[in-house]
Amino acid sequence: MRIAAVEPVLLGYRKTDPPMQRSFALVRIVTEDGLVGWGEASTNWGHSYPTVFATTVRDVCAPVLIGADARDLRARVADLHTRLDGYFGRDGITGQTIGALEIALWDLAGKSLDAPVCELLGATRRPIRLYGTGTTMFDESPSWHAHYFDQALAAGFRGVKVRLGRSVEEDVEVVAAVRAHVGPSVAIGVDSYWFHDARTALELASRLVEFGVSFFEEPVPQHRAADLRWLASRSPIPIAVGERVHSAEAFARLAHDGGAAVFQPDATICGGLLSCLDVVALASSAGISVVPHVGGPTAIGLAANLHWATAAGVDLCEWDIDPSQPLVDSLAPSLALSSLADGVASVPDGPGLGVTVPDDLADRFPYVPGETYTDVFPDHERGLSAAAP
C-alpha cells in the first residue's frame, strides 16, 4: 500500500459570534490504489496558521512519505521525526504536523482492513462521557454564560467548563452564576488560557473552591515550569494542562516536575494517536488523570481523539458546544451536538475514522486568511510576560 500523494487541505468559514474567520488544517494521503486517508492538525481551536502547516507538509513531509508503505505506520512516523525534529524541534509545528499525518495513516489502515481505528488499537466502540466547553465572549453577562450551557445540559451533559480571562472578581462572578444555574450535581472546570501570573491564579483558585471546581486548566504557561510547580503545590484545585503540549516527552517532563494533576492530550496537537496513548501510560504510572482536549476541530480531529480515547479506556472527554460547527455537523452527523443524548459520544460508525469527506469540501468551506485567535483575544497568553512568584 504505497503512498502516491500527500496534500494539505485548508478549510475555513466565517463565524459570527464573535465575528472572526475560523480556519482548519487537514491533510489528505492517497495510496497508489486510490485509497484516501484524512488527518487534521490543530493549534488548539482549529488552526490559526494553516499556511505554515501546509508548507511543512508540502515541502518537508511529502517527499519523505511518497513511495513509502503506508502500512508501516511506526516507521513512517519515525521518518517524519528524523526529518523534522533536528530543525523544528520536537514540539510546536512538529507535533501538529506529525499528528495530522499519523491520523491519516490510521484512517488508511482502518479503511484497508474495513475496520474502525479503535479496533486496530484493541478496543470496541463504546460511549464516552462529555463535558461542554464554554466561550470567551467576555462582554456578555454572567447569566448569559450560565445559559450558554443549556443545550449541552439538555443533551445530558453532566460537566461544563467555564472560560476565565477577566478580573478575579468578574471571573468569580461568572463561575458563581454558572454553579447557581447548573445546580450541585454538574461538574465545573475552569480554563484561563495562560491569562494569569502564578500568584493571581492562586488567588483565583482559592476564591473558586466554594463552587466545587474540579480542575483549573492552563492557569499559567506550562513551559514556565517553576511557576506551574509553585502553583500546583499550593492550589486547592487540581491543575490541568495539555492543549499546548506537543509531545509525549513534554508530558513526561510535566509529570516529573509535578506541575499538573490532569493531562489533556490531543492527537491533532501532540503527534497523533500513539503519542496520546504514550501519555496515558506515563500518566497512569504517575497517578495523573487523563481527560482528552478536543477544542473545536473538524469531525476528523474529533473522531481521531475519540478513537484513541476509546482504546485508552478514558471515561471523560472535552466537547466544543459552539452551536455553529458545520465541519462537524456535515462530516459526521452523529457527532453534532443536536444528535447527542445522555451526555455521551462514541466513535462514528464505519471503517477508519468513520468520517466521509466529500470531494467538494474545500469548495464549500474555502480557507480565507483572516483574524487569528490571538488577534481576536489579545489579552490571552499575557501570563507569558508575568513575573515569577
The 10s digit of each residue's pLDDT in 317-356 is 999 999 889 999 999 999 999 999 999 999 999 999 999 9
Instruction: Write down the pTM of the prediction.
Output: 0.95
Cell representation of residue 169: 472578581
Q: How far is the C-alpha of 21 from the C-alpha of 36, rounded, in Å? A: 28
Q: How far is the C-alpha of 36 from the C-alpha of 127, rounded, in Å? A: 27
Cell representation of residue 332: 459526521
Residue of 257, 222, 226 lying closest to 91 (CA atoms): 222
Question: What domains can be seen in the chain, in order of their start residue?
Answer: 3-114 (3.30.390.10), 120-353+372-385 (3.20.20.120)
* Mean pLDDT (whole number) for 62-69: 99
Which residue type does 190 have? V
Residue 368: strand, helix, or coil: coil
- How many angstroms separate the most distant Cα atoms in the chain? 60
Q: How far is the C-alpha of 193 from the C-alpha of 126, rounded, in Å? A: 31
Cell representation of residue 93: 509545528
Confidence class of residue 389 from pLDDT cuts 50, 70 and 90? Answer: low
* Mean pLDDT (whole number) for 69-98: 96
Any idea what the Cα angle at residue 98 is, between residues 356 and 102, rounded to 5°? 45
pLDDT at 327: 98
Q: Contact at 8 Å (CB) between 136 and 163?
A: yes
